[in-house]
Amino acid sequence: MAAVTAHRTETLPCDILIVGAGIAGPAMACALRDRGYSIVQVEFSDRPLDTARGDHLQCVVVELLEQWGALQAFWAAGGEKRHGAQYFTDKNELLLDVPYAGLPIPHPYYLYLHHELISQTFLKLAAENSRYTLFRPARARDFDIGPEGIRSLTLKLPEDQTAPDGFVPGQSVVIKPRMVVGADGRGSRVREVLGFETSTHDYENPLVVLFGPRPELDPLNRVTTFMSANGTISRIPRAFGEWKIGLPIHKSDIAFWKTATPKMRKSAIVARAPQLENIDAEVGGFYPVKLLNTNKWVHGNTVLVGDACHAMHPARGQGMNVSIRCVSKLVNLLPDVGEMADSDIVTRRLRAYESGVKPAIDKVLADNHVRGEEMDSLDADLIARSAAAMRVINADPELLRRYRLQSAGYADALGAPSPV
Ligand SMILES: Cc1cc2nc3c(=O)[nH]c(=O)nc-3n(C[C@H](O)[C@H](O)[C@H](O)COP(=O)(O)OP(=O)(O)OC[C@H]3O[C@@H](n4cnc5c(N)ncnc54)[C@H](O)[C@@H]3O)c2cc1C
């Protein structure tokens, strides 16, 4: 990038502007790092992302990481393997056992790593592209928009932060992209300025997430979910020897969880799962849960990805995984770098992506909503019905095989990855 004089406005043309560096944006920059595009990424937050969000990458996503030459970097960052999931009643009856071993897939395990390290690992790989620039922290706000999409984004770099090489704090930069990816999450500014219609559903009960040390190591590192008349609760392995505990609670109980002593927390956990009596866990955060779907993804040269266009309930551990899988489909459809100057080709490819993938995502969201409503419920009858449905799956080898494949990220509406 050209050297600039302090406080002058610079114009920065690029092939692809990515707004947001949570998960979907970094995954996109990583997947494209050796395809020759000039890429500019803008992220407003200067701190690591919230660690309590998704940290388990599905088997199908591990396959994608391998296709992108990224898998080794995830092991080097501390990634660990999870070999299954199990569901129990609070009386220790096994309802459903979901092992991945034996499935006809290349990587029959989940890879788990702290959420912020997943993002950072993608970003580190993205920076291998000599034509990549990350503005962080910088908020994308001032877009110039026309019928052809986003013409430019004017950024004001913060005075008190370091700027990327070739830029200086406090200056303005006018980014002129050939294509724009809105990967700016649930509150997307890109979605807002494009005026897409958005339907949402607020789940009644927030989730509370707790962290604690993991002394008793399960060699298979399984997620275990316990279902009782008092609600469900999940014990999720975290990298570096921790558990994450997640449970839906009544809004009115937030105050309890904020002020509870370790003893009070433990007895609330044990009320749902006596099996967790040895867990010592501190509250990590509270999460209101929302479903969000947009009527479209593409306007001219601009496309939305990730939570910006499809946020879902964490019940199935899908949001981050689906975002990465969508990114993989999008990157496979992009024009080559030599074609990027042709805005008609760019728009046609983005529309092909939208018409090919959005119907599958609408279905994923509908299925996820059913599971989300179940997890959201603190109603004993509904929980008992979910438990009964699990027994049925567990007792039928064909249903169970399908469930295992779906949980691995195969055999759902999005299907298996396409070859690169
Ligand atoms: C409690 C909880 C548990 C979850 N568990 C799972 C799970 O087990 N498995 C799973 O797959 N998913 C899970 N998810 C969902 C997952 O976290 C999200 O689906 C995923 O992070 C979406 O990634 P994203 O990149 O689209 O959005 P985000 O991660 O939200 O990233 C958006 C980024 O854009 C930036 N940004 C926003 N506006 C601007 C702007 N104007 N300018 C510049 N930057 C901007 C933000 O700072 C942010 O970094 C969970 C979520 C929660 C809340």
Q: pLDDT 10s digit of each residue in the chain, 420 long?
A: 444 455 689 999 999 999 999 999 999 999 999 999 999 999 999 987 788 889 999 999 999 999 999 999 999 999 999 999 999 999 999 999 999 999 999 999 999 999 999 999 999 999 999 999 999 999 999 999 999 999 999 999 999 999 999 999 999 999 999 999 999 999 999 999 999 999 999 999 999 999 999 877 789 999 999 999 999 999 999 999 999 999 999 999 999 999 999 999 999 999 999 999 998 999 999 999 999 999 999 999 999 999 999 999 988 889 999 999 999 999 999 999 999 999 999 999 999 999 999 999 999 999 999 888 888 878 899 899 999 999 999 999 999 999 999 999 998 888 878 765
Q: What's the confidence (pLDDT) of residue 6?
A: 53
Q: Is the CB of 155 under 6 A from ligand 1?
A: no
Ligand 1 pocket mutation pick from 44, 45, 51, 53 by most atoms within 8 angstroms of CB: 53
Would strands 172-182 and 10-19 be described as parallel, antiparallel, or unpaired?
Answer: parallel
Q: What's the confidence (pLDDT) of residue 7?
A: 66
Q: Is the CB of 27 under 6 A from ligand 1?
A: no
CATH H-level superfamily of 79-112+204-288+379-420:
D-Amino Acid Oxidase, subunit A, domain 2 (3.30.9.10)
For residue 10, report the distance from its CA to the centre of ligand 1, in Å. 30
For residue 16, report the distance from its CA to the centre of ligand 1, in Å. 20
What is the rounded CA–CA span in Å between residue 29 and residue 53? 21
Q: Is the CB of 284 under 6 A from ligand 1?
A: no
**Ligand 1, atom 9, residue with closest C-alpha:** 317
Q: What's the confidence (pLDDT) of residue 62?
A: 98
Contact 80, 237 (CB under 8 A): yes
* 3-state DSSP assignment of residue 28: helix
For residue 182, report the distance from its CA to the centre of ligand 1, in Å. 12
Q: What's the confidence (pLDDT) of residue 419?
A: 63
Task: Read off the DSSP letter of residue 275.
Answer: G
Contact 377, 383 (CB under 8 A): yes
Tell which atom from ligand 1 comes closest to the C-alpha of 23.
25
Tell which atom from ligand 1 comes closest to the C-alpha of 58.
11
Q: Is the CB of 315 under 6 A from ligand 1?
A: no
Place of tokens 């599905």: 58
E strand segments, 322-373: none
Tell which atom from ligand 1 comes closest to the C-alpha of 20.
34
Tokens of 105: 């897939």
Q: Is the CB of 207 under 6 A from ligand 1?
A: yes
Q: Is the CB of 314 under 6 A from ligand 1?
A: yes
Start-end of H helices in 112-208: 115-126, 189-194
For residue 54, report the distance from its CA to the centre of ligand 1, in Å. 8
What are the domain boundaries of the chain?
10-53+72-77+113-202+290-376, 79-112+204-288+379-420
Q: What is the DSSP string of 336-372?
A: PGGGTT-HHHHHHHHHHHHHHHHHHHHHHHHHHHHHH
Q: What's the confidence (pLDDT) of residue 420?
A: 55
Q: Is the CB of 189 under 6 A from ligand 1?
A: yes
Q: Please indicate whether the domains covering 10-53+72-77+113-202+290-376 and 79-112+204-288+379-420 agree at the CATH topology level.
A: no
Give yes or no for a cis peptide into 108 (omega within 30° of 0): no
**Ligand 1, atom 29, residue with closest C-alpha:** 22
Tokens of 5: 């004089």
**Ligand 1, atom 3, residue with closest C-alpha:** 53
Q: Is the CB of 306 under 6 A from ligand 1?
A: yes
CATH entry 2.60.40.1760 includes domain 10-53+72-77+113-202+290-376: no
Tokens of 346: 């760019």
Place of tokens 């989730």: 207
